[in-house]
A = this chain, B = another copy of it.
Amino acid sequence: MKLVKYILLNLGFLLLTFNLSCQSHPCLILTHQGVDAIKKDMGNVPLFDITVAKAIKDVEALMADGVLVPLPKDLAGGYSHEVHKRNFLELYKAGVLYQILQDDKYAKFTKDVLMAYADLYPTLDRHPSDKSYAPGKIFWQCLNDANWLVYMSQAYDCIYNYLNTQERKKLENQLFRPFADYISKGNPKFYNRIHNHSTWGNAAVGMIALVMNDDELLQRALFGLEEYAKSGKSEFDNDGGLININDQSEAGFYAQLNHSFSPDGYYTEGPYYQRYAMSPFIFFAQALNNVKPELKIFNHKDGILSKAVYALLNLSDGSGQFYPINDAQKRMSYKSRELIASVDIVYSLNQSKSLLSVVKDQGIVQLDQTGLFAAKGVKECDLEPFLKPSKVFSDGANGERGGLTILRTEYEGNDLSCLFKYSAQGMGHGHFDRLSYAFYNNDNEVLQDYGAARWVNIDQKAGGRYLKENKTWAKQSIAHNTIVIDEISHFNGNTQKGEESTSVAYFNSLDDPRFLITSAKDLNAYENTELHRTLCLINDQSLYPNPIMLDIFKVNGSGEHQYDMPFHFKNHFMRSSFDFDTNLTSLKPLGDDFGYQHVWHEATASLSIGQYDFSWLTDDKFYTLHALSSDNDQMIFGRIGANDPNFNLRHDAFLVQRRKNATSPIFISVVNAHGSYSAISEIPKTPYAKNISIEKSLDDGDYTVVKLSFENGKNAMLFQSNKNNEASKVHRVDIDGKIYLWEGAIELKILNNK
């Protein structure tokens, strides 16, 4: 029933029985037409030639070590894990090399390894480790087994014609079909989710189906397991993610396409996971495009796969490193193999010359016809810069679950960017960081997000898995640049509660590059409390020589509470306008839960009402925070590292502005990137920020008005309607007897005289 309904819903472009068309191998990712093209051009396309040379080096190194198919035993980072991983990552290249170099040794080695797997596989029970909710057979989780099959399908496709019928039969019957069954029917909790794990599963099953011309498997890949009855109760994977969603009525690859991405191509777990998740999408889509072009898979849901790739490219800092949203290991970038494949494939579809700039920066291409095409583009075309716009990314399959805004501006050739997060929780990998923001100067972190507490695949650190400090520190609100009330994380640190609601966009204005404004609210992070943050990136040299980021964080709550506003500046502290008392000979943790137990309390200052500043130097750039304080505000210098028995955390410093016993406070600050230093010339340029005077001109339930006064006598005023964000509504306020009018939720006005 589900299947039929789904097909009817999905435009009827499918026939109930497929006419599988892989008549001539290779057909899956590399095609035989691709092989012809590569043979013709190879040697004359530098980027592709580099790719081939690297593949030869890698594969020769693998072959030199001989056929290694050890008994599955270890976790990520351990011997058996790394050997099996290397096998699938290199063996698909060996298959391609066989095709394009016509050297049988590659096919023979590929065959030998696959045969060893075919001998081993029937003897295997599930992996001995019990760390996963869905253990694989080769690896500790089905997820990695699915990775294996995605790549090994390609290897098999490439040597298909090298094998005789008997050999194929052995591989298919002893290895590939049972393998596909195990990760699907054998593990429905893994296979039938709307989740990146399942996408890998779907793609793996689908790709081997296409190679083997197995219609039943292909159906299972595209539409999931029908026979898998929902349990009705909630279950969680070992990352804390929900396994089953009770109202889920679809599964399989189409369901993933329909539900994984927002209409802007954003994936709710964040770009680090989106990057990882892209591989099965893009590989299986390319395979479907090759074998079943009539599905027009890349047109599905208004071209959602291309949008997802562009979203990833845009969700990166000035050097292409992804913003570390949620559980993300920092420095992952669009140079990853997943994005290399994705960009080459999208380029082969749209031929956008700006993508070629990315291809060039990646420095290597996919080892197939799309890589050849992209490499030829780099060689032959006038490249256009890949410009990343300021942009709003909605979250949720229908864009209904909040989102992100990226504000970007340029300053002396540097790419300043601000990521504002008001999205959904991000499932099990989500952080409790509603309305947080992070600020970048190129790839320098000005105000950082901690990212994940994990060394991916490094065995010494808990087998390369998430460290327990990921939960106790990295996910907690205090680890982010957002407000924390009463030292308790958003949603009381409960992922399920976080999943139930989302922040909401309040206002976005990205048209005038001089004044970029984003604003959002959250009504659920704390009970009976409205959080409302507005960020405005101002880059107008007639006002101020450098870009400045104005931040207005307003809380409407009930009763008195303690409010902590953290600023995760990156080292090194330069100076502050206030004196502080440093704890010189004894350090204690700042608190005892919600991440506070991990913070050494290094120094304290007492502020009075007024304006303070605080400046730091990171990566040879100077930054200054200017902000308003209230009477009895405390400034706390913290440093991560308490209660960290195995030195798992980075011992980074940060600042907390603390307001005690406050009712509905507002925090207003400006961050300013203003200078640089060279350790070679030893000359500091603009080490001090020019003065900015911040004034809270008005703040009540209805309206907030903030005035910035600059040294040149000019002023900027930000007018905000706090309750009504209708675009056409005209607002009027009276400030010191002067009337101001504006239209819509928020407007920034420049005033030339005081």
A584 to B688, CA, bound (A): 38
Instruction: Tell me whether B679 and A330 are in contact (CB under 8 A).
Output: yes
Q: Are B458 and A574 in contact (CB under 8 A)?
A: yes
State the Cβ distance, A543 to closest chain B Cβ, in Å: 21
Q: Tell me the nearest residue of chain B to A582, going by C-beta.
A: B645
A interface, size bucket: 35 or more
Check if B651 sits within 8 Å of A647, measured CB to CB: no
Tell whether, in the assembled complex, residue A588 and residue B585 are in contact, meaning their CB atoms are under 8 Å apart.
yes
| In the bound complex, CA of A589 to CA of B679 (Å) | 31
Taking the nearest CB of chain B, how far is it from the CB of A250, in angstroms? 31
Q: How far is the CA of A246 from the CA of B370 in the complex (A)?
A: 78
A337 touches B681 (CB 8 A): yes
Are B77 and A684 in contact (CB-based, < 8 A)? yes
B77 lies within 8 A of A458 (CB): no
Taking a contact as CB atoms under 8 Å apart, the answer to whether B330 and A456 are in contact is no
How far is the CB of A741 from the nearest CB of chain B, in Å?
41
Residues of B within 8 A of A464 (CB): 684
A356 to chain B, nearest CB (A): 20
| Contact indicator B680/A333 (Cβ below 8 Å) | yes
Which of chain B's residues have a CB closer than 8 A to the CB of A315? none
Say whether A387 faces chain B, with CB atoms less than 8 Å apart. no
CA distance A641 to B582 in the complex (A): 11
B residues near A332, Cβ cutoff 8 Å: 679-680, 682
- A600 at the B interface (CB under 8 A): yes
Chain B contacts for A492, CB-based, 8 A = none
A637 to B645, CA, bound (A): 11
Given contacts A77-B684, A77-B687, contact A572 B650 (CB under 8 A): yes
Q: Is the CB of B461 within 8 A of A574?
A: yes
A304 proximal to B (CB < 8 A): no
A573-B647 contact, Cβ under 8 Å, with A336-B681, A682-B456, A683-B457: yes
Check A460 for interface membership: any CB of B closer than 8 A. yes
Copies held by the complex: 2
Residues of chain B within 8 A of A198, CB atoms compared: none
Known: A585-B588, A637-B647. A331 touches B680 (CB 8 A): yes
- Chain B residues within 8 Å of A677, by CB: 455, 458
A600 touches B617 (CB 8 A): no
A459 within 8 A of B: yes
With a cutoff of 8 Å between Cβ atoms, the chain B residues found around residue A587 in the complex are 586-587, 600
Q: Is the CB of B331 within 8 A of A679?
A: yes
Q: Are A589 and B585 in contact (CB under 8 A)?
A: yes
Q: A643 in the interface, Cβ–Cβ < 8 Å? A: yes
Residues in B whose Cβ lies below 8 Å from that of A571: 650
Task: Say yes or no for A615: interface residue by CB 8 A criterion.
Answer: yes
A291 at the interface (CB under 8 A from B): no
Residue of B nearest to A677 (CB): B458
User: Is A296 on the interface with B (CB-CB < 8 A)?
Assistant: no
Contact among B460, B681, B682, B687 for A459, CB-based, below 8 A:
B687
CB distance from A681 to the nearest CB of B (A): 7
Residue in chain B with minimal CB distance to A339: B680
Interface string of A643-668 (1 = CB under 8 A from B): 11111001101000000000000000
Which of the residues B330, B458, B574, B682 comes within 8 Å of A617, measured between beta carbons?
A: B458
| Chain B positions within 8 Å of A77 at CB level | 684, 687
A639 within 8 A of B: yes
Contact A457 B645 (CB under 8 A): no
Docked pose: A177 CA to B145 CA in angstroms = 82
When distances are taken between beta carbons in the complex, the residues of chain B under 8 Å from A333 are: 680
- A329 proximal to B (CB < 8 A): yes
A639 to B684, CA, bound (A): 29
* A600 CB, min distance to chain B CBs, angstroms: 7
Q: With A584-B645, A679-B331 given, is the CB distance from A615 to B460 under 8 Å?
A: yes
Chain B hits for A681, CB < 8 A: 336-337
User: How far apart are A560's CB and chain B's nearest CB, in angstroms?
Assistant: 28
* A680-B586 contact, Cβ under 8 Å, with A461-B574, A639-B651, A647-B573: no
Which residues of B lie under 8 Å from residue A679 when comparing CB positions? 329-332
Tell yes or no: A575 within 8 A of B by CB.
Answer: yes
The CA-CA distance from A539 to B563 in the complex, in Å, is 58
Sample of 6 A–B contacts (CB below 8 Å): A460-B688, A582-B645, A584-B645, A586-B586, A602-B647, A651-B653
* Further 4 A-B residue pairs, CB within 8 A, beyond A333-B680, A461-B574, A584-B643: A331-B680, A460-B575, A582-B647, A637-B647
The 5 A-B residue pairs with the shortest CB-CB distance, nearest first, are A331-B679, A587-B587, A460-B574, A460-B575, A573-B647
Task: Point out residues on A near B: beta carbons under 8 Å.
Answer: 77, 82, 85, 329-333, 335-337, 455-461, 464, 571-575, 582, 584-589, 597, 600, 602-603, 615, 617, 637, 639, 641-647, 650-651, 653, 677, 679-684, 687-688
